[in-house]
Structure 1
Amino acid sequence: MNETVSENTILDNILIVLVGTTHPGNIGAVARAMKTMGLRRLHLVNPKRFPCAEATARAAGADDVLYAARVFDALPLALADCQWVVGTSARIRGIRWPELAIRECGEQTVAMAGNGQVALVFGREHSGLTNEELDLCHAVMRIPTNPAYRSLNLASAVQIAAYEIRMALPDEQTAEPTTPISSDADAISVSEREGLYRHLEESLQEIGYYDPEKPKKLMRRLRRFFNRANPDRSELNILRGILSAAQKAARRAPDPPKCKDALRPTGR
């Protein structure tokens, strides 16, 4: 069944998350960039200095966005209630995450925000997001730039992303904020998804399939698999039920399997 979702609801469901921002002026400039495109919700993870007069000065009239910003000690806490998360990266990395073009990211962000909270995550000015932080994201978004000079100011990157979000709003919302969007009340949050991954890791250890001392890339690959599948709440409950049953069976076994036995080829 479709329901009418207002532009304000969509924009209020979109979080801009800044991780480890070192320059307070950049926080103010980001608040200004957000307000020009109608975004209001700013989450800060371990900013070096905030609140700060320089941030207020650079906000240039977007004080309401700045003063409403919430500060968190860790990224998972900032994303806890989000159902869809996109990280940003300018670097080419050895690890591959699902990628979205900037325009596609704007369109998907608007579509997903009709159903619940979503977040765009921006990293540190000089080093960006860590691989572990990107593991929390469903996809990675890159802004196309000059290959010879890829560096974008943090506020500029947010401005471009916010513009694409604004452009993705249906035309009729510009004057009359209504658009039909499918309801997805069963979408799971980041905290629920992280609970699944913890349960999965514990279960794999108990059945002898996963050795935390030699993790390689197993959990990261499983994260990517489930992020692509994007299970809803009923599917999540099925998965966790299967994991719980596997744990109970492993605990009843007279000789619990060792990791090396579980991974040994069977010869078939």
Structure 2
Amino acid sequence: MVTSSLADDINLIAAWLSKEELADIGSFGVFDCVVLCGSQLLQQATALFRALEGSPSLTKVMVITGGIGHSTSGLYEAVSKHPIYYVLSEEIKGLPESRVFERILRRFFDLEKITSKGCKLLIEDRSTNCGSNAIETLRLLEASGISRPQSCAIIQDPTMMRRTVAGFEKVSNESTNKAFGESINTNFVACPVFVPQMVTDGHDLDFCVPNVEAKELWSKERFYELLSGEIPRLRDDSGGYGPAGKDFIVHVDIPMEVESAASRLQQALGSSRSM
């Protein structure tokens, strides 16, 4: 038996982690920079590339970031199952996540049109986690002679969005662009593309995400693992990633209702095989 309250807890955690500040990447105006982070999901890349085809002046710089990490094998599998991108399945094996997205961009989208208004494409393929996405992206911008952006949209797997933005804020706050001697407070805007939600019929939980099929998402087990694993990482204590712990991210305030929901989810994961 799966209760509606469990679905409510999952949806509360998922919505909070998604940190949706911008639902439609094409609706903002112009960003100095847009960063697409590698993950096992393809919707984020597809949405960004389509938006740029329709509005090439959306950003001055697009950085695709991501090396080989815990989501890479899932990305290969997602490409192999995609109704269009599957043709790349063999040639992407062994590639960093950013290079997989680059292959998709060059093969299925109009890169010439995307860059027609001056948008510069940069590929960062060394980072292995959310923290190094931030470090390597800002290093790449500096190495490419690009001034620190004042506005930067972050596009990432919704379950990792809040931590990713906190990581970019941490790195940005601690460094200046040495090439320009600047100290600029970048406004990082979270754009998860969609917010994952679930529904229950009393016996099982199912994804309910408009315009996204369940087969294009994580497995349920992976989704629960991501949700329950993020809350301890975001805590600012000795075991978390905040300043009082590993110091990978800026301080994040976790609402009590999110902590309570995460505790109940963890209990459910430990006691229910039906999930």
- With the length of structure 2 as denominator, give the TM-score of the two structures: 0.31
- With the length of structure 1 as denominator, give the TM-score of the two structures: 0.32
Q: Which structure is larger by alpha-carbon Rg, 1 or 2?
A: 1
